[in-house]
Structure 1
Amino acid sequence: MTTILSPEKIAAQITTQMTVKTLLRWDLSFLRAIPGGAFIALGFMFFITSQVGAAEAMPWGMHRLIGGLAFSVGIVLVVVTGGELFTSSTMALSARAAGRITTLQLLGLWTRSYLGNLVGAVSVILLCYFGGIHHSAEGAWGDLVIKTAEYKVSHSPFEAFVLGIGCNLLVCIAVWTANAGKTVIDKLFLLMLPVAIFVATGFEHSVANMFMLPFGMLLGADITAGQLLLGNLLPVTLGNIVGGGVMIGLFYWFVFRGANTAAEPVAAEQLNRAEP
């Protein structure tokens, strides 16, 4: 007996989930996005902790793999707790293509999740800063935040856009494949590996950068507001939409559109108990 869902069933399930997310009351949607951003920030915090001193102690690829697995804890927390994440909500393009939501409703979902994620990420910045975490390891922790933030804005806008595509392709593949699992262990395994790939490779995640770049600036990184917004967040966000929304959500809706067409309409009572 199989322990995972078929691709056709996952396609129908993703479209239904994205419809429910989009039609959820705006205040509940926004509130779910706050812990989503916070968990991603905590994942990046764990990433930094895992990398302090690692470059001197082990091969480059090995310490990057460890960092990727550390960050993936943030994605796991978002999915398991029912949080809302902008990057995975890009797959709502499948619900738009299926005619279940309007373009205005889609943009509303993206706006709520993006702003809620920003609030959550900034909250963790304040937690780390006033808790003095950046002083850990004789200041090496904070130094690595600064170094990482400055490296992120060293990319050209086009490079940031392309890196954003690669990131969310893998994040949404992680969420997609996690829907195939029927047990918590299934879902954890399916979530963590694709996310570890994107982090270890150096792709760009818009919500993670909401934490890393402002935190780096707060600690003294040589980054301007223009570099943060126009050089990184904007192109990375657009890349995330292409990678997750078009290359995963829209593509797999098209491939399995027969399964989506056959799916039952979402009942009104489902709207307040959406799956992530």
Structure 2
Amino acid sequence: MPDTWDGTGKQKYIIPVLEIDTYGSVEMTNRVGLVGVTKSSLDTLTTLVLSILAGVFMALGAQLFILVTHTATSNYGINQLVGGVAFTLAMVLIVITGAELFAGNCLVAMSFMARKISGKAFTRNMVITFLGNFIGALAVVLCLYTSGQWMMNNHLLGAKIVLTANDKVNIPFGVVFARGMMGNALLCLGVWMCYCGKSNLDKILSLLWPTSCLMACGFEHCVVNMWLIPMGIILKENRAVLAAAEKIHGGIPDLSNLTPCKGKRKMAENNIPESTQTIDRDVAYSPSQTASVVENKAVIRAGLTVTQTLVLSILAGIYVAMGAQFATFVTSDSALHAGFTSFITGIVFSLGLILVEVAGSELFTGNNLNIVGYLSKKIMTRELFRIWTLVYVGNFIGGLMMVYWMYTAHQWEFFHCMTGAKALLIAHKKVNLSFEEALARGTLCNALVCLNVWLCYSSRSVADKVISTLFAIGGFVASGFEHCVANMYFIPMGVILRKHPDVVAVAERMAGKTLDLSQLTWKGFFINNLLPVTLGNLIGGVILIGAVFWFLYLRPHMRYLSFSSEKEFSTDSE
């Protein structure tokens, strides 16, 4: 394995984290660190030009998002999703061309903390990149204004820009801070996954879900706002645009804060990336080989420290909750038929499991496959239960952290509280399942989730993992099965939102009946849902998949079907 680096600048710092096939976590960390050194060593002119390009790309992506969504009058969530997919153009251009995005360069801090670059070099890079992004965004403002594109559709496009910009400058500081933090977390995860990829297809698929989620869910990005708000400030002086804005708004909008200096500030995010590299292995593992990979993963997990396991588990809880809130948002006002809405829910929810599998983290349901290592006598009973306990607790912490952040971001108020109402209805339905229903749905769910893990372990590229995840995870979500970690976000969010009369009123209007929320409590969460669903997940993952596949491929007299992956998954640097 290649040399690695740590926070003290020493080599041979090996963390036995999951290194499946593409670039493993340690290798990705090295690549991010080396890219940070490269970025900080660029001369001023080169950094400035690359930063201007990134500002241009982000502005082009933002105007495409506005263009795609500006005439939506229903199915807002799905229209936002389509706009988010369109906006991904910006990040794809930045990644493939190697442009410099301010918020993405936050990852250069890794090189600084590892003492690979000086504080002066880091600060210089951030300042130049910020200025360059601003110049690039303002250049697009000038070009688009001159082009008259904002006059499209009887000035409705310009009106949408003005109203969106006005919304942004009127968001309270705490709320916009939370949205900016969530947004850049998503895009940095997308960039991180790009470092794992080895082809442009890997990179595009890595960016698609996090970037779409960021834009569709209304999170904040400072460079996007460098185009959007100045464009709104200019267009608000146009009478035809104001007339169209009044028509959309249903009255005269208060644009008093839409000025260069008085609007509220944003905190925000983002990313950059790059890199490829080729490898001479592009064939998936066979089933017997995959079984050996699963077995080795159990051994690697058993070697993790408590801190490593807990932190990776918290990340997984956050990732799954991101997918859950994304799915809630996109389908909150869907007027499509139930089957198609369920299908879309499954596709967008896949974001959570894509992040788990590609970015690297520890999910309780996937960790049920550790039973394979136990049955092969590679890990002990206490190690198996230690992993499961730590991962379950960490996932719960991550899910509750997302509940707090999403509540603070006030995303539940979107679409006149329809997003919050959808979250409330989802939680209400889950806590009113019978014990047998929750158990059966949990069993079927984790059978599919563990099959997804199996598919990902058989894969050797990011594209393989992403596409594999879409089918298995999309299938369980669309089918209405129950996932204990997802419910660690869904139901607590509902418990909190039931205290808001406006949300309850909208939820009852959506449901067409008065809701009995007596079961939507913490007790109802733990007893009616989490307990039976967790038991069902264990049955599906441990027995239906883990034990059965061990019996098929790894029981002693079947070893001739397997292979040794010791060299590939070794944790020693040689």
Could you say what secondary structure the match of 2:361 adopts?
coil
* Contact 1:22/1:92 (<8 A) preserved: no
**1:198-237 matched pairs, under 5 angstroms:** 198-220=476-498, 222=518, 223-237=520-534
Q: Which residue does 1:32 correspond to in 2?
A: 312
One-letter amino acid of the structure 2 residue matched with residue 44 of structure 1: A
Distance, in Å, in 1 between the alignment partners of 2:310 and 2:566 is 21
Could you say what secondary structure the match of 1:202 adopts?
coil
Q: Which residue does 2:396 correspond to in 1?
A: 118
Question: Structure 1 residues 173, 265: closer, same or farther in 2, change over 3 A?
Answer: closer
Q: What root-mean-square deviation, in Å, do the aligned CA atoms of Structure 1 and Structure 2 show?
A: 2.0
- TM-score (ref. length: structure 1): 0.93
**1:119-198 matched pairs, under 5 angstroms:** 119-198=397-476
Shift in Å, 1:23: 2.6
Max Rg structure: 2
Distance, in Å, in 1 between the alignment partners of 2:352 and 2:521 is 27
Q: Which residue does 2:382 correspond to in 1?
A: 104
Could you say what secondary structure the match of 1:77 adopts?
helix
Distance, in Å, in 2 between the alignment partners of 1:27 and 1:64 is 37
User: Residue 73 of structure 1 is aligned with which of 326, 335, 351?
Assistant: 351
Distance, in Å, in 2 between the alignment partners of 1:260 and 1:17 is 20
Question: Structure 1 residues 266, 102: closer, same or farther in 2, change over 3 A?
Answer: farther
User: Residue 20 of structure 1 is aligned with which of 290, 300, 304?
Assistant: 300
* Contact 1:47/1:70 (<8 A) preserved: yes
For residues 160-192 of structure 1, give each alpha carbon's deviation from its aligned partner in whole angstroms, at most 9, with x where no partner exists.
111100100001101101122212111111111
One-letter amino acid of the structure 2 residue matched with residue 20 of structure 1: I
Distance, in Å, in 1 between the alignment partners of 2:432 and 2:572 is 42
Greater RCO (CA < 8 Å, at least 6 residues apart)? 1
Distance, in Å, in 2 between the alignment partners of 1:7 and 1:194 is 17
Question: Structure 1 residues 232, 3: closer, same or farther in 2, change over 3 A?
Answer: same
Question: Structure 1 residues 64, 265: closer, same or farther in 2, change over 3 A?
Answer: closer
Distance, in Å, in 1 between the alignment partners of 2:413 and 2:475 is 29
Question: Structure 1 residues 158, 272: closer, same or farther in 2, change over 3 A?
Answer: farther
Distance, in Å, in 2 between the alignment partners of 1:179 and 1:51 is 31
Q: Which residue does 1:95 correspond to in 2?
A: 373
Distance, in Å, in 2 between the alignment partners of 1:38 and 1:241 is 21
Count of aligned positions? 270
* Contact 1:253/1:260 (<8 A) preserved: no
Shift in Å, 1:264: 4.5
Aligned-pair identity (%): 30
For residues 80-116 of structure 1, give each alpha carbon's deviation from its aligned partner in whole angstroms, at most 9, with x where no partner exists.
1111100000111111100111111111000110011
Question: Structure 1 residues 266, 227: closer, same or farther in 2, change over 3 A?
Answer: farther
Q: Please, which runs of 5 or more residues in structure 1 have no aligned partner?
A: none
Distance, in Å, in 1 between the alignment partners of 2:397 and 2:531 is 17
Shift in Å, 1:261: 9.0
